[in-house]
Amino acid sequence: MDVSTCLKSLLLAIRQYRNNRSALNSSQLQKHIEDVSGLKCGGVLFSGQVLPSECLSGLMEVAGDPNTSHALTGSIISLLAQFAASDGEAREALHSSYNFTGTLASIIHCNRSTPEEPLVLQCLNVLQRLTYSVRTQHCASHIHELISFLMQHVQSSNDDIVKACLGLMANLCRHDISVQSHIKSQSNVKAFYRALINFLCHNCLTVVVFALSILSSLTLNEEVGQKLFNAKNIHQTFQLIFNITVNGDGTLTRNYAVDLLVDLLKNPKIADYLTKYKHLSVCLSEVLGLLHNKHPDTASKVMELLVSMCSVPVLRKLICESVLRPPAPRLQPATRKGVQARGSEPSLALIHWVTSPLDGPEQCYMQALSLLAELFEEAIDSSLCSSAQSFVELLLQEVLVLLQSPDSTEGEQLLKKHCLRAGRVVDFLLVLCGDDALRMLVSQRLSPEVCVSQVELLLSYSQDLSGSTCTTSNYQLSQVCSKVVLKTLELMSHFKQQMPDMEASFYRILQDQRIVTPISLAMTSNCREHVQVALRILLEAAPLPDFPSVILGDSIAANNAYCQKESELSIRSSPASEDVSFVGKSFPMMHAEPSGSACQSIDSLIEKLQNGVELQEKVKDVHMSEIIDVYEQKLSALACKESRLQDLLEAKALALSQADRLIAQYRCQRAQAEAEARKLASLLKDTERKKEGLQAELNDHLLEVERLKSDSQQLLEHNGRLQEVADQHQELKGTYNQLLSRYDKSEGMLKELQAAHISLTQQAEGLRKSNEGLKLQQERTLAEMAEKEQQIKCLKTDVLEKERNITGLENNVRRQEEQIHEMEENISILRKELNKTEQARKDTSIKASSLELQKSQLEAKLEKMEEELSKHTQMIAMIHSLSSGKLKGDATANLSL
């Protein structure tokens, strides 16, 4: 079943149930509600079309009727709560357009006597989620009764009721002065304060945070709050908030803890206390570690806290140093339960969240870009840019990709998100332009095509929004697109001197007529910064020749007229809204079925009410109360119609201003077209005159062409002869080239041979010098050999003498064998002489070995010598052999002795 058929069936079931509240119709309606719940059609339901709007209004009416069964009411609340949880726009529409908050408050008021009912707890939980970070209209129905119910049941014995009441009360009190004043005006406010203070000792951290949030909203600037958040107690509060933020088990508790700290930081005294908190650096490092959390809601809430802390100068500098400086080891408590190792570089986590996809949570990349803008503002002021340059280079690679235009087929919702994110990205780049080095880095990576495509996308999208249905969201989004266009133009103006292509694109965009709308909206804005940006752009654009200054003036006048009409309409409609709210407060909402007699008596009732009679009497008749209920329904319907007419009037006024702008553009274009037509007529006349002159010249040229034909024939014959000569010239040229190449080769070979000749001459000179050196060395060697030979002769004579002595001694030994004992002294003397002789022999052998070594060396050197050198070497070898043989004989003789 498609969505349209399902919604039609649901609307039919709602009408049947209102006509006949039977069990069958109730079950049928509940079945259709379950079917719609399974279709996931939240985008269609809150699109503003007639059928979905009637279905939602009917569901609100059925749910708000006290006669509806609790099961059916719970199903309707579950369905609407499901849509509110899945889509932010659906939540906003339920809160503002369909008064879902008032319906839930009326259900709680009707069941105030039985607070333990599951329906009451369901309404409280849905109200808590619906009113989180949303301002509730104080004039909504049953808000005062709801506040009284919450103040009464915060001391209930049911912990679920207490937690839901405290959470809802924290939402209603936050940033709502009217609700705070109403609570303070109650008679039991002191008992309520005491109950909240008692909750500070509760064992559930969620209850403690709820109580602290309510107390900070109600008593922060009063005597009770000054005692509660004084210098002694505030450090415990800080520790509690940081513990919940870092180690919180659930996202709900962490969100409320962060909101509490954000609200406390708005007080200058508490902000000063936080700067003096002794564990601030450790807590801050742990909070920065939460940026690595994979849950986007946690990360966005942490970044919201960091952005809020950046509003305090001391804290902003500390955060900037922690994020942008190189990572250093941080202390981590080892005994704390559940603490995990945090990431050491929060800057990388920020890059991750900045580059998160468009279809992801919007708060993540928006808060990350805001935090980066704050940090780099501080870095530029405190000269920390040099240490963060590498991070900026990495960041720019990712951030500039975000400015690329998304695919048009991805849907209008993603295009809206892209416009919002592009505005934050341009704000961040404008912050970087405050430092020369960072501006140079941006100029190296930013291309003019990206800026031009961005401006073209925003201008076309803003134009589409202006041409579509004029709703409040479209008007606000058109304003956002206009602001982003002006910021992008301001960014381009910063780089137009450094990038020539950027300058040409910048001035071309300024002369586009579509730029009138953003400039006029900014000029008529109530924001000083937007007006200043528009004036700076206007100063650049005014001297340009094609700048549509007339259209800009008309657009500014139309915007001023529209703002004046809007203010007049708001002044006129304010008394009516007060009257409606007065009626809503005076009579409780009771959804009764209108009867025929009641409808007939409406006119008479109106007359009585205008005379002021019935308002002062107490209505006792049940039939008259039904008539009053019908009248209240008619009044609410009239109020709805009035609001719709108001929207239509605003749309008509905006369309009128757009029509005025288009008429002015048409007049300007028509004047330009007429001027161009006159210019074209004069050009046509000049062209005709030129044509006649060119015709005469053409005739002359034809005659000249005939003459040139004959000349060309002669030239062709001459050209043929020249071609033959050219062929011969080409052949000669080829021969010449061959000879030239042979000559080049021969010249190269000659140079190589000359170089080889020079090298050989140098080698011959070196050999001659070495030969002379060898001759001198040979002469010295011969002289040394003569000296050695003389020494050898002396040694031979000594050896002979020793041999003769040995033979004599041997004879004496043979003769005196019997006289051995007597001749011991002689033997010892002989032994000594023998030792000396052996020592002399060893010395002689050593000298002989050295002479052999010298001889071998001389032999190696003198192999190529003359024949006389060979004879000397043979003699030395003979002498050496003789001396070695005698030495061996002496050795054997000694051994025998």
> Could you report the per-residue pLDDT of 745-754, keeping only the tens digit for each?
888 899 999 9
| Cβ proximity of 183 and 147 under 8 Å | yes
Whether 627 maps to a domain, the answer reads yes
Find the DSSP H helices in 248-279. Answer: 251-265, 268-275
What the block records as the tokens of 790 is 């003389």
Q: What are the structure tokens assigned to 566, written together? A: 């809007």
Task: Establish if 604 belongs to a structural domain.
Answer: yes
pLDDT at residue number 521: 86
User: Does the residue 747 lie in any domain?
Assistant: no
d(C-alpha 613, C-alpha 598), whole Å: 19
Return d(Cα 444, Cα 498) in angstroms, integer. Answer: 10
Contact predicate 633/580, CB 8 Å: no
Residues 6 or more apart whose CB falls under 8 angstroms from that of 664 comprise 550, 551, 554, 555
In a domain, 633, yes or no: yes
**Cα-flanking dihedrals φ and ψ of residue 222, to 5°?**
-115, 180
Could you give the number of structural domains in the chain? Answer: 1
Give rounded-to-5 percent helix, strand, coil for the chain.
Answer: 80, 0, 20
d(Cα 574, Cα 642) in Å, to the nearest integer? 12
User: Residue 66 has what DSSP assignment?
Assistant: T
| Residue 785 structure tokens | 């050999």
3-state secondary structure of 141: coil
Enclosing H/E stretch for 812: helix 622-815
Q: Residue 519 in contact with residue 484, Cβ under 8 Å?
A: no
Q: What is the pLDDT of residue 465?
A: 66
CB 120 within 8 A of CB 160: no
Token pair of 738, please? Answer: 């061959």
Q: Which residue has the tokens 């015709």?
A: 695
The Cα–Cα gap between 646 and 483 comes to 26
Domain range for 590: 548-683
Using CB atoms within 10 Å of the CB of residue 284, give its burial: 0 to 12 exposed, 13 to 18 middle, 19+ buried.
buried
Helices H, strands E: what count in the chain? Answer: 36, 0
Dihedral, CA of residue 483, residue 485, residue 486 and residue 490, to nearest 10: 130
Rounded Cα–Cα distance for residues 151 and 859 (Å):
126
> What single-letter amino acid sits at 516?
V
Per-residue pLDDT at 306: 92
Please indicate, yes or no, if residue 614 is contained in any of the structural domains. yes
Q: How far apart are CA 494 and CA 429, in angstroms?
A: 10
Q: How far is CA 769 from the centre of its chain?
A: 81
With beta carbons less than 8 A apart as the criterion, state whether 229 and 237 touch: yes
- Write out the two tokens for 26: 């109730």
At 621 the pLDDT is 43
Question: DSSP secondary-structure letter at 49?
Answer: -
Residues sharing a CB contact under 8 Å with residue 330, sequence separation 6 or more, in sequence order: 282, 285, 342, 344
Is the CB of residue 314 less than 8 Å from the CB of residue 281? no
Count CA within 13 A, CB hemisphere, residue 606: 10
Tokens 């209209």, located at residue: 137
Residue 276: DSSP 8-state: T
CB atoms within 10 A of CB 261: 23
DSSP 592-620: ----HHHHHTHHHHHHHHHHTSGGGSPP-
DSSP code at position 301: H
- Looking at the domain assignment, is residue 282 inside a domain? no
Low-confidence ranges of the chain (pLDDT < 70): 1, 40-48, 137-141, 249, 326-344, 407-411, 465-475, 569-626, 629-630, 632-633, 657, 660-661, 664-665, 668, 822-823, 862-864, 866, 870, 885-897
* Alpha-carbon gap, residue 609 to 604, rounded angstroms: 9
Residue 621 included in any domain: yes
Check residue 599 and give its pLDDT: 37
Q: Cβ contacts of residue 355 below 8 Å, gap of 6+?
A: 365, 398, 399, 401, 402
Rounding to the nearest 10 degrees, give the CA dihedral for residues 799, 804, 807, 808. -140
Is 672 part of any domain?
yes
CB-CB neighbours of 408 under 10 Å: 12
Of all helices (H) and strands (E), which one includes residue 482?
helix 472-495
By the 8 A CB rule, do 136 and 101 touch?
yes
